[in-house]
């Protein structure tokens, strides 16, 4: 891995307005270029919008979707990557050749190539499918990157397998915070009016985004994904009202020890930048721990227990 300057973006997307969202992405690309960023990470489904999609009929989702890589949005991302010399990741809805619909994260690279991750645990709509492949690839700036989208990161096996496949940097695009997690001590909703009143009375929404329904919840588990697997982790998230929920932003970049090396304090659109020092991975705790694995003991991890459930049932059910 070579030294890389990475950036994470949080922004309030416009539901179903791909042109407006791509224009916001272009604006952040220009800002990142001024700061000589190599790797720029945008949130999950930020091109199409996210939470409102759960209400859409299949035909409406199809109208919002695009093929990858030949769709207009992916081509725009590739053009931006080539023009800026950056690797740029952003999320959208993909329509495959067989008309399946996916929550897909596209990573466009300055040599004109791309990578694609189909979210492994997709619950946003019954009309959308989950992917079945882990995504690890080399970027021209000199590292191996992996992608796990939002809920994918909650499953510890997903992060471990991504690291075992060689990822040195994990791109973790989200649309989270202010959600009803159904867990007694998990996240709870944030009143959208707090965000709408942020200019007149900023303190309540700032406290909410940094509290147990935003940053506080993330810090219970997110640093361990970086630490335990010896990877840099770039967390990008929406911010502000997303249909009837509030995304909490909290854009951050973590090092392989789980330490936060850059973090947004804003409750509006923002970008944070950090230099990723590859020497931090040398002999770091997570890599040392992984070298002590005994794979012969873990066969049962791949065997069904009979308690597995469909992702939508697991995400939205009030009982186990």
Give the model's pLDDT for residue 185.
87
Residue 320 has pLDDT above 80, yes or no: no
Please list the residues that pair with 238 across neighbouring strands: 11
Domain positions in the chain: 4-316
pLDDT in tens, 180-223: 888 888 899 999 999 999 999 999 999 999 999 999 999 999 99
Cα separation of 312 and 320, whole Å?
13
Helix (H, G, I), strand (E, B) or coil at 268: coil
Cα separation of 267 and 207, whole Å?
10
Range 266-277 average pLDDT: 98
**In 10 A of CB 144, how many CB atoms?**
17
**In 10 A of CB 87, how many CB atoms?**
28
Range 155-181 average pLDDT: 96
Residue 16 has pLDDT above 90, yes or no: yes
Give the model's pLDDT for residue 182.
85
- Cα–chain-centroid distance for residue 62? 22
Architecture of domain 4-316: 4-Layer Sandwich (3.60)
Residue 14 has pLDDT above 90, yes or no: yes
């Amino acid at each position: 891995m070579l030294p890389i300057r990475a950036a994470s973006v949080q922004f309030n997307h416009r539901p179903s307005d791909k042109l407006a969202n791509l224009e916001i992405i272009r604006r952040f690309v220009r800002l990142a270029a001024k700061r000589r960023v190599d790797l720029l990470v945008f949130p999950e489904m930020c091109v199409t919008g996210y939470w409102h999609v759960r209400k859409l009929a299949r035909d409406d989702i199809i109208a919002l979707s695009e093929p990858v890589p030949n769709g207009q949005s992916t081509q725009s991302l590739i053009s931006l990557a080539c023009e800026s010399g950056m690797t740029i990741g952003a999320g959208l809805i993909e329509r495959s050749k067989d008309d399946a619909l996916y929550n897909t994260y596209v990573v466009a690279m300055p040599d004109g190539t791309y990578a694609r991750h189909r979210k492994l645990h997709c619950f946003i709509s019954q009309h959308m499918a989950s992917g079945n492949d882990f995504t690890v690839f080399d970027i021209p700036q000199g590292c191996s990157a992996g992608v796990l989208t939002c809920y994918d990161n909650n499953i510890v096996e997903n992060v471990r397998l991504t690291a075992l496949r060689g990822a040195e940097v994990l791109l973790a695009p989200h649309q989270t915070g202010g959600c009803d997690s159904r867990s007694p001590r998990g996240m709870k909703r944030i009143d959208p009016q707090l965000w709408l009143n942020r200019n007149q009375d900023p303190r309540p929404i700032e406290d909410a985004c940094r509290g147990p329904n935003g940053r506080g919840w993330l810090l219970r588990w997110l640093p361990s994904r970086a630490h335990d697997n010896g990877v840099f982790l770039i967390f990008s998230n929406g911010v502000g009202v997303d249909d009837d929920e509030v995304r909490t932003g909290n854009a951050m970049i973590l090092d392989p020890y789980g330490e936060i090396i850059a973090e947004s304090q804003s409750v509006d659109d923002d970008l944070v930048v950090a230099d990723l020092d590859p020497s931090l991975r040398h002999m770091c705790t997570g890599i040392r721990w992984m070298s002590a694995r005994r794979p012969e003991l873990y066969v049962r991890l791949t065997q069904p227990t009979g308690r597995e459930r469909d992702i939508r049932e697991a995400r939205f059910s009030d009982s186990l």
